[in-house]
Amino acid sequence: MPSFVIQEKCDGCKEQDRVSCVYICPNNLMALDKDSKKAVNQEVDQCWECYSCVKICPQHAVEVRAYADIVPMDGSVVPLRGSDSIVWTIKFRNGNVKKFKFPIRTTVEGSINPYAGKPEADISKLDSPGFFNMDSAYMPRISD
């Protein structure tokens, strides 16, 4: 179910500081075509269909078409990812449509303050079990 880029919608992220799908693809598949300045999935049979490129595209120009060697045509699964939830629209081959909305995070993206309110590490405990925010005195040992 490789991702593909809709020619009309892709603007090559020319207003952005990076090309979103090229930035995010975990398998390095999305590339910017030098001539057209539009994104392209350069190796479709190595696509894991993780939808990272679909979810991140600011133009909604990336979609996924089910694997041609496996799945009958005309179905689609399209996400719309917001800041705290994602809406999925699933269109079946027979035309039926289902919509689902799920939460994705409870904090604002970028707001994590990883050590706020956390204890300092006690360097004398470096070689003991337990993390910096745990009391190593209470680390269980095997008891049976």
Partner 1 sequence: MGSFGKPDIVEIETDILIIGGGMAACGCAYELMRWKPEDVTVRLVDKAAMERSGAVAQGLSAINTYLGENKPEDYVRMVSNDLMGVVRDDLIFDVGRHVDNSVQLFEEWGLPIWKQPGDEEKPLSEGGKPVNSGKWQIMINGESYKCIVAEAAKKALGMNNIQERIFIVKLLLDANDDTRIAGAVGFSTREDKIFVYKTNAILCVAGGAVNVFRPRSVGEGMGRTWYPVWNSGSTYAMVAQVGGELTMMENRFVPARFKDGYGPVGAWFLLFKARATNNKGEMYLERNRDMLKDYPPYGLAKVPATCLRNHLILKELREGRGPIFMRTDKALQALAASYEEEFGPDEAKKKIKHLEAEAWEDFLDMSIGQAGVWAGENIEPEKVPSELMPTEPYFLGSHSGCCGIWTTGPSDIAPPEWQWGDKPPKAGEDPEPGQKNYNRMTTVQGLFTAGDGVGASGHKFSSGSHAEGRIAAKSMLSWVLDHRDFTPTLSANTTELAEEIYAPVRIYEAHKDYSTNIDVNPYYITPRNLQARLQKIMDEYVAGVGTMYTTNVTLMEIAVRKIGELKKDSKKMMARDLHELMRAWENYHRIYAGEAHLRHMLFRKETRYPGFYYNMDYNYVDEVNWKCFVNSKIDPVTGEWSVFKRAHKDLVSKS
Phi, psi (deg, nearest 5) at residue 105:
-160, 155
Q: Is 120 in the site for partner 1 (CB under 8 A)?
A: yes
Residue ranges in 124-143 that form contacts with partner 1 under rule CB under 8 A: 126-134, 139-143
Residue ranges in 23-52 that form contacts with partner 1 under rule CB under 8 A: 23-28, 31, 42-52
**What separation in angstroms does the CA of 48 have from each of 41, 53, 103?**
12, 11, 23
Among 4, 12, 80, 86, binds partner 1 (CB under 8 A): 86
41 touches 7 (CB < 8 A): no
Q: Which of 28, 48, 68, 74 is catalytic?
A: 48
Q: In this structure, what DSSP letter does residue 52 have?
A: H
- Rounded Cα distance, 81 and 103, in Å: 10
84, 50, 89, 77 alpha-carbon torsion, rounded to 10°: 170
Binding letters toward partner 1, positions 58-77, x by CB under 8 A: ------x-xxxxxxxxxxxx
Residue 10 Cβ vs partner 1, minimum distance, rounded to whole Å: 19
Residue ranges in 6-25 that form contacts with partner 1 under rule CB under 8 A: 23-25
Catalytic residues, by residue number, are 48
